[in-house]
Amino acid sequence: MRTQVAIIGAGPAGLLLGQLLHKNGIDNVIVERHTGEYVLGRVRAGVIEQVTMDLLDEAGVGERMHRDGLIHDGVQICVDGKRHHLSFKELTGKSVMVYGQTEITKDLMDGRAAVGAPTLYAAYDVALHDIHGGKPRVTFRKDGSTHEIECDFIAGCDGFHGISRKSVPPSAISNYERVYPLGWLGILSETPPVSEELIYVRHPRGFALCSMRSPTRSRYYIQCSLADDIESWPDERFWEELRPRLDDEAREALVTGPSIEKSIAPLRSFVAEPMRFGRLFLAGDAAHIVPPTGAKGLNLAASDVQYLARGLIEHYRDKSDSGLEHYSERALLRVWKAERFSWWMTTMLHRISDNPFDYQLQLADLDYLFRSKAAATAFAENYVGLPY
């Protein structure tokens, strides 16, 4: 098999890249290790920035998002039972949208199927070859036989545990990492949300987040221990632990119900540099991870894809490699700003240590955020993802 760009991974990064390239007449094949049903079953991100909305429109798959997505002009932050409101609209003139990653993935999959572009699901033992040569190749096993794709470029969009980053010699890559001693236990339930806006909660028992997917579907998270497993968290225990972390109004409004999905996600900050190795380009979680507190992971994957798609389009259409040569540098400028913001939100809102000094620092940080227009504006600019 021969294509121009072989894309590893059919998550949001791989599917969005494939769609943008196809729209611009660039041939591409996606190779994904799981089945389509499995990929669609993963409940993850929910908050998207304008840059992501614009790219989904550009990819021609934004119709359902505009119909069903919920525009959010601000967020609420609850500190030890008292709620504060931060208006993105007033501070920056911008908003974000709540539209689930599962829906985005479905829209992109449908868009790809409609144009007949190939995605090879359930492809095992994917391996990358000759990434520094003129003719890179991807090999894999599918339906009992071995296949090979010859291509001009490989886009490694295969997430944190993928094979692309691991195919680079360790001496050529620098890894920066912080692992937090906690996780997020998340529940999805067919119940109305407690509030029209997201509520981020800082509480002595630990962090919580009241989020949503629609006016009838809620997504809640509570900070949990890394030693916890799902079996030890029946729904009742989850609701009992969430309730005391909320303020009176939210507690009153909380409607509980059976979970339709429940998972634990560890919190990690990670960046691999550079994001280009010969003819291999990393994009999305394959190159960097943020703790979900700042809602940046999917948005960063989209902004990487934007730079990469522009570079590849320039290569084929204008015969210029300037975009590809500057891809890593451009993407990383944005990545590190999002890493800083996500780390800051995480350390400000979670119970990370039992040292009372850290607790007082959090209160000082939050008080400054609520009293200073400059601090609130900086927060809002980072959250809505203004171009930086």
Ligand X SMILES: Cc1cc2nc3c(=O)[nH]c(=O)nc-3n(C[C@H](O)[C@H](O)[C@H](O)COP(=O)(O)OP(=O)(O)OC[C@H]3O[C@@H](n4cnc5c(N)ncnc54)[C@H](O)[C@@H]3O)c2cc1C
Which residues participate in catalysis according to the annotation?
A: 72, 200, 292, 296, 383
Q: Which region, judged by CB under 6 A, interacts with ligand X, from 20-28, 42-50, 86-94, 358-366?
A: 42-50
20 binds ligand X (CB under 6 A): no
Site string for ligand X, 342-381 (x = CB under 6 A): ----------------------------------------
Instruction: Identify which of residues 228 and 318 has a Cβ nearer to ligand X in the complex.
Output: 228
Any contact of residue 163 with ligand X (CB under 6 A)? Answer: yes
Question: Which two tokens mark 9?
Answer: 């991974």
Any contact of residue 265 with ligand X (CB under 6 A)?
A: yes
Does residue 188 belong to the site contacting ligand X (CB under 6 A)?
no
Strands (E), 190-279: 199-202, 208-214, 217-224, 259-273, 276-277
Nearer to ligand X, 108 or 376 (CB): 108
Closer to ligand X by CB, 31 or 78: give it: 31
CB of 29 to ligand X, least distance (A): 12
**Residue 55 near ligand X by CB under 6 A:** no
Question: Does 264 interact with ligand X (rule: CB under 6 A)?
Answer: no
Which listed residue (99, 153, 180, 184) binds ligand X by CB under 6 A?
A: 184
Taking CB under 6 A as the criterion, the residue among 21, 32, 242, 349 binding ligand X is: 32
* Number of neighbouring beta carbons within 10 Å of residue 302: 26
Query: Within a 13 Å sphere around the CA of 55, how many CA atoms are in the beta-carbon half?
Result: 29
Is 96 a binding residue for ligand X by CB under 6 A? The answer is no
Considering the complex, state which of residue 32 and residue 339 has its C-beta at the smaller distance from ligand X. Answer: 32
Tell me how far apart the alpha carbons of residues 358 and 32 are, in angstroms, rounded to a whole number: 43
Tell which one of 9, 62, 156, 206 touches ligand X (CB under 6 A).
9
Give, as ranges, the residues between 285 and 324 that touch ligand X (CB under 6 A): 285, 292, 295-299, 301
Least CB distance to ligand X at residue 365 (A): 22
CB of 254 to ligand X, least distance (A): 20
Task: Report the amino acid identity of residue 161.
Answer: H
Both ends of the chain: CA-CA distance in Å?
Answer: 40
Q: Indicate the residue among 127 and 363 with the shorter CB distance to ligand X.
A: 127
- Residue 234: CB minimum distance to ligand X, A: 20
CB 289 within 8 A of CB 269: yes
Q: Cβ(279)–Cβ(138) under 8 Å?
A: no
**Rule CB under 6 A: is residue 12 a binding residue for ligand X?**
yes
Neighbours of 178 (CB within 10 A): 15
Q: Site size for ligand X, by CB under 6 A?
A: 36
Q: CA–CA separation, 351 vs 193, rounded Å?
A: 24
Q: What number of helices (H) and strands (E) belong to the chain?
A: 13, 20
Q: Residue 43: count other Cβ atoms within 10 Å of its Cβ.
A: 18
User: Quick check: 69 binds ligand X (CB under 6 A)?
Assistant: no
Q: What is the number of other CB atoms lying within 10 angstroms of the CB of residue 40? A: 16
Question: Would you say the C-alpha torsion 199, 368, 386, 330 has a positive or negative sign?
Answer: negative
Please name which of 34, 286, 332 lies closest in space to residue 156, comparing C-alpha atoms. Answer: 286
Contact set for ligand X, span 108-137 (CB under 6 A)? 126
Q: Which helix (H) or strand (E) holds 115?
A: helix 101-115
- What the block records as the tokens of 179 is 């692992």
When asked if residue 33 is in the footprint of ligand X (CB under 6 A), the reply is yes
Hey, what amino acid is at 169?
P
- Enumerate binding residues for ligand X (CB under 6 A): 8-14, 31-34, 39, 44-47, 101, 126, 157-159, 161-163, 184, 186, 265, 284-285, 292, 295-299, 301
